[in-house]
Amino acid sequence: MIDINLLRENPDLFRESQRKRGADESLVDQILEADATRRSSITEFENLRAEQKTFGKKVAQAQGEQKQALLAEVKELSERVAQAKIASEKAQAQQEELLTRMENLVIDGVPVGGEDDYVVLKTVGEPRNFEAEGFSPRDHLEIGELVDGIDMVRGAKVSGSRFYFLKGHVARLEQALLFMALDQAASDGFTMMTTPTLVRPETMNGTGFNVKHDDEIYRLERDDLYLVGTSEVALAGYHADEIIDFSQGAKKYLGWSSCYRREAGSAGKDTRGIIRVHQFNKAEMFVYCPVGEAEDMHAQLLSWEEQMLQKCELSYRVIDTAAGDLGSSAARKFDCEAWVPTQGTYRELTSTSNCTTFQARRLNIRERLADTVDSSGKTKKGGTRAVATLNGTLATTRWLVAILETHQQADGSVRIPEALRPYMGGLEVIPVAQ
């Protein structure tokens, strides 16, 4: 949720943000109008309440006919107070509904436009030249079948399209990725978290997902619970309605979970293999920090993602995502896209988002400000303010696509990157199945 005080003081800032996103600019004016109505309704209610209290004192002192006349006025006033309260609550609800529709304020410098308007910040490594090596690369599914590591046919038989089984060395390779991510994150001060994959609607909404209109989300109607598409959701809700103590630094968590996405609207896209599936595993970084540290922390999260990609010996590029492709909660997002040889293009493997105070405001997550001393020497207890939240992918099932294709050998076997070998029991090559 955006800061209503900031919007009230600088509405043009939010109009520009909406314009960059390609979103509805008139929402800013709707919020301002609702805010004015809410404040005037509250003022009217409070004035009538004050008048009601004054009348109460007059009635207590009056006698006879005067008292009866005042009682009649009090009754009418009570009805007006009740109506004013209803109007005030209605105005409050209308403003809150409009605020939940407002997307996060875009950080200055984010590219303008939609999905194709990203800016490439850097490219790392050269795509492997298979032609020079004398063979044509196989795609990840063909490799997975050759090494008996991916079974889409039985996945579809058991669960339907876009489901799969990972087997043998490929299944272990996925776990190796996740364990390597865990070790790296732990060395960087993250706390390992195995998170719930079912959450309440208030948690999903608080993170920035619209449970009423997001077709990507699986819902369990009987229990009114939602399957998460990322452990970011559960981790964002972890400190809901709390005041965080940052005296020991930012709170850094590594969420480890299965993730679920309906892939609505993706009919015909990436139907082959495990690029776009309904269920996958992921290691997700999530950070709570003071607002002033958020942009530096965002750069650090990106650096940690790049370290993982380099350990996997992948060619990749980093893009600054355009405003219209950010999602509602992100103020800025960097993606790392790895080269996929058989597609001849880069595909997203990681993303890291700075959500500033957007999620924290919705979930009521704050930090305590320092105490102050006034001119008379009296200490005043510090107030609270919303914290910043950030997230970033450290490993997912999709990484197998780039690893299998990039490190394949002419016979269909796969060379395992050196950093992953200790997690594979020392195995150097995934052999073709006999």
Q: Residue 285: beta bridge partners?
A: 254, 392
* Res. 95 pLDDT band, cuts 50 70 90: confident
> Structural domains in the chain?
4-101 (1.10.287.40), 119-430 (3.30.930.10)
Query: What's the pLDDT at 319?
Result: 98
Residues 182-240 pLDDT 10s: 999 999 999 999 999 999 999 999 998 878 767 889 999 999 999 999 999 999 999 99
CA atoms of 124 and 309, how far apart (whole Å): 10
The predicted model gives 1-16 an average pLDDT of 91
CA atoms of 193 and 405, how far apart (whole Å): 31
CA atoms of 7 and 394, how far apart (whole Å): 34
Strands lying side by side in the sheet with 243-244: 243-244, 366-368, 384-386
Query: What's the pLDDT at 377?
Result: 77
Q: Known catalytic residues?
A: 261, 276, 348, 351, 398
Query: What's the pLDDT at 227?
Result: 96
Whether residue 68 has pLDDT greater than 60: no
Query: What's the pLDDT at 289?
Result: 98
Whether residue 244 has pLDDT greater than 70: yes
Q: Is 396 left (phi over 0), alpha (psi -120 to 50) or beta?
A: beta
CA atoms of 37 and 27, how far apart (whole Å): 15
Query: What's the pLDDT at 45?
Result: 74
Query: What's the pLDDT at 13?
Result: 94
Query: What's the pLDDT at 149?
Result: 98
Q: Residue 414: beta bridge partners?
A: 408, 430
Q: What is the pTM for the complete model shown? A: 0.90
Residues 108-120 pLDDT 10s: 999 999 999 999 9
Show the tokens assigned to 123: 């490219």
- Which residues are CB-neighbours of 368 under 8 A, at least 6 positions away? 243, 245, 382, 383, 384
The predicted model gives 52-75 an average pLDDT of 59
SS3 content of the chain, % helix, strand, coil (to 5): 45, 20, 35
Whether residue 169 has pLDDT greater than 80: yes
Query: What's the pLDDT at 209?
Result: 86
Whether residue 243 has pLDDT greater than 90: yes
Mean pLDDT (the chain) is: 91
